């Protein structure tokens, strides 16, 4: 391969397949040939809000095959399959030492060049050294590509501090049965096997899929959701509610589903600048907590990699579409129209040698 085909942002939500020079591999770096890259809600958000400037290449849920290794890299060789996140904290600053690694200044640096939606992706030295995982033979690309998003989910699950040891009858709710909502369901079941999970979504096909994937109940928002949670929790409410929808209305709904002393975890973008609107006594008098998480750090990435490698976590049923980078717009439209759950992109037709 002599040139790199990438999906470049053109401003607004426009993108186009573009040809760029292949990145040079420096010391400590890896050059990966794309195997699969996941389309993430954050990519969609950046396109829809125009946050991605012209020339930007998005995409960060990546599995690639090592094409070249930089000087000094010992853990990888050409041909290895690798799953790697794009963000790595410094481990030394104040927020890292306090356990808020995802707030680290260094963490914000994108360690993938030009980005994941490309036939060839350069992995910078810090990610290569600290965060890249060699994918074992028995683990598919379609499973390994979830290491990054599932680590984000696991961080929220851990922060909710759901107690499955004591009484063993914990109840969690996931608002939204899209790919992130259903990934919450699977991560909750894998990480906390004793936890019962209710998935709330207005779409019947998504509720059916949630039940197939192991949800203990699935309900429409509103009265039906309250009844389902009441049923499983003996009327108490959920220990934790994970909101993957976003916004003030879903937050109020989440608080209504949470038991006294329980947690609401926000895991979705709200419309920019939107203020919340809920009864403050839900927090003060009833000791509820509202938390936010948006990413995962090394600890969660490692834990999720182990869950996927062991087979305890298998998110592959969430993959509904796979298509070459050339069809980026098609994949985006399917997600927008809620016709797809997880869309994965594969190398461009030119890279696959299938171009007419």
Task: Catalog residues that contact Zn ion under the rule CB under 5 A.
Answer: 40, 42, 89-90, 93, 96, 104
Shortest Å distance, C-beta 90 to Zn ion: 4
- 319 strand-pairing partners: 342
E strands of 157-281, at which residues?
Answer: 171-175, 196-200, 217-219, 238-243, 258-266
Give the separation between CA 72 and CA 69, rounded to whole angstroms: 8
Give the separation between CA 169 and CA 173, rounded to whole angstroms: 13
Shortest Å distance, C-beta 115 to Zn ion: 12
CB 151 within 8 A of CB 85: yes
Give the separation between CA 192 and CA 213, rounded to whole angstroms: 15
Shortest Å distance, C-beta 70 to Zn ion: 24
232-236 long-range Cβ contacts below 8 angstroms, 24+ apart? 232/171, 232/196, 232/198, 233/169, 233/171, 233/259, 236/260
Which of 89, 331 has the CB closer to Zn ion?
89
Which of 1, 90 has the CB closer to Zn ion?
90
Which of 39, 76 has the CB closer to Zn ion?
39
CB 216 within 8 A of CB 198: yes
Shortest Å distance, C-beta 93 to Zn ion: 3
Which of 61, 239 has the CB closer to Zn ion?
61
CB 178 within 8 A of CB 194: no
- 8 strand-pairing partners: 16
Shortest Å distance, C-beta 62 to Zn ion: 10
Shortest Å distance, C-beta 42 to Zn ion: 5
Which of 3, 93 has the CB closer to Zn ion?
93
Shortest Å distance, C-beta 120 to Zn ion: 20
Cα-atom radius of gyration of the chain, to the nearest Å?
20
Which of 179, 233 has the CB closer to Zn ion?
179
Which of 68, 129 has the CB closer to Zn ion?
129
Which pair of structure tokens corresponds to residue 83?
């799953």
Which of 104, 318 has the CB closer to Zn ion?
104
Q: Give the strand pairing for 133-134 and 289-292.
A: unpaired
Shortest Å distance, C-beta 45 to Zn ion: 10
SS3 161: coil
């Amino acid at each position: 391969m002599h040139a790199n085909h990438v999906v470049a942002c053109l401003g607004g939500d426009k993108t186009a397949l573009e040809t760029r020079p292949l990145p040079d591999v420096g010391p400590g770096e890896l050059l990966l040939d794309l195997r699969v890259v996941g389309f993430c809600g954050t990519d969609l958000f950046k396109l829809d809000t125009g946050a991605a400037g012209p020339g930007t290449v998005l995409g960060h849920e990546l599995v690639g095959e090592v094409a070249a290794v930089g000087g000094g890299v010992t853990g990888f060789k050409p041909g290895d399959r690798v799953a790697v996140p794009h963000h790595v904290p410094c481990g030394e600053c104040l927020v890292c030492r306090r356990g808020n690694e995802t707030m680290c200044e260094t963490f914000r640096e994108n360690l993938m060049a030009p980005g994941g939606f490309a036939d060839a992706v350069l992995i910078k030295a810090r990610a290569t050294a600290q965060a890249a995982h060699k994918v074992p033979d028995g683990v598919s690309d379609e499973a390994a590509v979830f290491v990054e998003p599932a680590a984000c989910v696991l961080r929220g699950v851990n922060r909710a501090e759901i107690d499955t040891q004591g009484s063993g009858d914990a109840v969690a709710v996931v608002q939204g049965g899209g790919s992130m909502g259903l990934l919450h369901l699977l991560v909750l079941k894998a990480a906390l096997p004793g936890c019962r999970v209710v998935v709330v979504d207005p779409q019947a096909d998504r509720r059916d899929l949630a039940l197939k994937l192991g949800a203990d109940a699935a309900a429409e928002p509103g009265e039906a959701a309250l009844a389902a949670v009441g049923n499983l929790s003996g009327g108490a409410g959920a220990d934790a509610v994970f909101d993957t929808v976003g916004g003030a209305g879903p937050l109020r709904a989440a608080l209504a589903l949470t038991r006294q002393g329980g947690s609401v975890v926000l895991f979705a973008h709200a419309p920019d600048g939107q203020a919340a609107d809920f009864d403050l006594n839900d927090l003060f008098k009833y000791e509820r907590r509202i938390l936010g998480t948006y990413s995962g750090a090394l600890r969660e990435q490692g834990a999720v990699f182990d869950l996927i490698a062991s087979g305890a976590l298998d998110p592959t049923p969430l993959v509904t579409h796979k298509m070459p980078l050339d069809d980026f717009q098609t994949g985006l439209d399917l997600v927008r129209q809620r016709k797809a759950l997880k869309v994965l992109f594969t190398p461009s037709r030119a890279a696959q040698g299938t171009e007419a």
